[in-house]
Amino acid sequence: MPEERPLSRKQQAFVSEYLQDLNATQAAIRAGYSPKTARIQAAQMLSIDKVQSALANAMAQRAVRVQFDQDRVLHEIALLASSDIRDYTIDDQGNVGLRDGAHPDATRAIASLKNAHR
């Protein structure tokens, strides 16, 4: 069985760029392909076994590195989607607390607070 050739420079660039936003057309453009043909080039890139393998490998390495996978992303989105302002209490000093019965992770849905009375 012949040894598989390494990725070309453009293929490597495509893999790297694709990881940024998972947009194949934009990855092709950023990798140096013409915007006019980027959609076709992207589809061709994604059909190449060694490019798919490199993408899967790079995504797996990133998941290990950041310890964040699709399930965790979906869990975080679910927390945000199910957040309810009625789950929170705010005292006179602006400290946020959780009402009884609120999900323990509910405070993760708060990005910032502004005290309008100050």
Whether residues 43 and 91 share a domain: the answer is: no
Give the model confidence (pLDDT) of 11-65 as tens digits: 999 999 999 999 999 999 999 999 999 999 999 999 999 999 999 999 999 888 8
102, with CB counted inside 10 A (0-12, 13-18, 19+), is middle
Nearest to 14 by CA among 4, 6, 5, 23: 23
Q: Are residues 15 and 53 in the same domain?
A: yes
Q: What's the CA gap between 82 and 66, in Å, rounded? A: 25
Q: What are phi and psi of 48, to 5 degrees?
A: -85, 125
Residue 58 sits in a domain whose CATH number is 1.10.10.1400
Residue 23, pLDDT score: 97
Residue 102 lies in a domain: yes
| Residue 47 falls inside a structural domain | yes
In a domain? residue 25: yes
pLDDT for the residue 35:
96
10 pLDDT higher than 60? yes
Per residue in 57-103, pLDDT (tens digit) is 999 998 888 877 778 888 888 888 888 888 888 888 777 788 888 87
* pLDDT top residue among 104 and 12: 12
**φ, ψ for residue 60 (rounded to 5)?**
-65, -40
> Kindly report the CA angle at 38 between 32 and 44, in degrees rounded to 5?
105
Query: In whole angstroms, what is the distance from residue 42 CA to residue 8 CA?
Result: 14
Domain of 49?
A: 9-67
